[in-house]
């Protein structure tokens, strides 16, 4: 042992340790240190510590590993003995005696492991032994508590997952009819907006024809005049959405304000294709016939495009 590993005050080797304050003590220091009742039970001599290390059940774990390592040599000896059994029968007895000794040692180790508590002095209260027992008791209890909490957490999560799935199913069941009704309303609005677009085109056409008639188009220096066609398609325009139109309908108090607020989108007359007015009169004898035919074509398209679930009022 290093000569420095001794008490500087008493020049004696350290033989004791206080586990409470972690101080090394010689025999003289121990007498004074034990006067503190809070430290007395935490002081141990090296001999007692070594006895604990040798006899504690944990030491058997490492002895078991040592035994396991030596066992292969035993098997090698047995194999060697079996191979030379015919020609060296006189050497069998010593090897057999050695193998029996190893078997006895192995059985002794197993008996010590199975009776580890009995091998310890029941009156011994080593700090290391008690501390190890407390640690095992603590972690055993904590592990059991952790397992219970994990099970409880899993049960709670499972319960709320089932409840969540139930709520989703209930939501779908309750809103399914609402979603279907909303889709039907959207289709009705889109169809009605297209119909309204067609009517506004007819109004626009009529006003243009009146203006042209008042200006006497036959005496207009043979300038080529144009008129907008009412041959529009009843599809919704890509430049606006039905949602935006619904919001616009709700914010406008009158049809006029609604049309005016959407002049740049759905009711933009510039989107109507041009036709030459002379071509119009080649097809119709007068303005009245043209307007009447336009209304007739409108009604024909409405009949073809109106779903059976919708009623034209």
Look at the block and give the residue holding tokens 């959405």: 241
What is the pLDDT at residue 162? 96
Closest to 27 (Cα-Cα) out of 39, 3, 45: 45
Beta strand 226-228 with 23-25 is unpaired
CA–CA separation, 122 vs 108, rounded Å? 21
What are the phi and psi torsion angles at 209 (to 5°)?
-65, -40
**pLDDT value of position 234:** 42
Assess contact for 78 and 99: CB atoms under 8 A: yes
What pLDDT does residue 254 have?
93
Spatial separation of the C-alpha atoms in residues 207 and 264, rounded to whole Å: 19
How confident is the chain (313 residues) per 10-residue block, as mean pLDDT?
71 82 80 73 79 71 52 45 48 48 48 43 65 89 96 96 95 94 93 87 77 58 47 47 90 92 81 54 74 82 69 46
Q: Indicate the helix (H) or strand (E) that contains 44.
A: strand 43-45
What pLDDT does 40 receive? Answer: 65
Task: Evaluate whether 184 touches 309 at the Cβ level (below 8 Å).
Answer: yes
SS3 category, 19: coil
Domain ranges of the chain: 16-84+92-124, 177-305
């Amino acid at each position: 042992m290093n000569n420095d590993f001794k008490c500087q005050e008493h020049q004696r080797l350290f033989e004791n340790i206080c586990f409470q304050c972690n101080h090394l003590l010689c025999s003289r220091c121990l007498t004074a240190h034990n006067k503190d009742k809070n430290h007395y039970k935490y002081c141990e001599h090296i001999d007692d510590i070594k006895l604990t290390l040798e006899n504690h059940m944990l030491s058997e774990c490492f002895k078991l590993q040592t035994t396991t390592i030596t066992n292969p040599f035993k098997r090698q000896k047995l194999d060697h003995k079996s191979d030379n059994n015919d020609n060296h029968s006189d050497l069998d007895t010593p090897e057999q005696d050695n193998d029996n000794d190893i078997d006895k040692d192995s059985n002794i180790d197993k008996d010590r492991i199975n009776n580890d508590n009995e091998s310890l002095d029941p009156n011994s209260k080593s700090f290391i032994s008690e501390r190890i027992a407390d640690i095992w008791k603590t972690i055993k209890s904590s592990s059991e508590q952790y397992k219970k909490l994990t099970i409880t957490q899993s049960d709670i999560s499972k319960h709320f997952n089932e409840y969540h799935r139930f709520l989703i199913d209930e939501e779908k069941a309750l809103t399914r009819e609402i979603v279907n009704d909303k889709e039907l309303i959207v289709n009705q609005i889109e169809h009605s907006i297209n119909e309204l677009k067609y009517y506004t085109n007819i109004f626009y056409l009529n006003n243009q024809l009146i203006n042209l008639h008042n200006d006497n188009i036959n005496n207009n220096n043979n300038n080529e005049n144009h008129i907008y066609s009412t041959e529009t398609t009843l599809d919704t325009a890509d430049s606006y959405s039905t949602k935006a139109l619904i919001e616009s309908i709700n914010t406008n108090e009158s049809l006029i304000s609604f049309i005016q607020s959407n002049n740049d989108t759905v009711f933009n007359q510039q989107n109507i294709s041009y036709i030459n007015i002379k071509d119009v009169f080649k097809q119709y004898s007068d303005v009245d016939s043209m307007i009447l035919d336009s209304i007739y074509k409108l009604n024909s398209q409405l009949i073809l495009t109106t779903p059976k679930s919708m009623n034209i009022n």
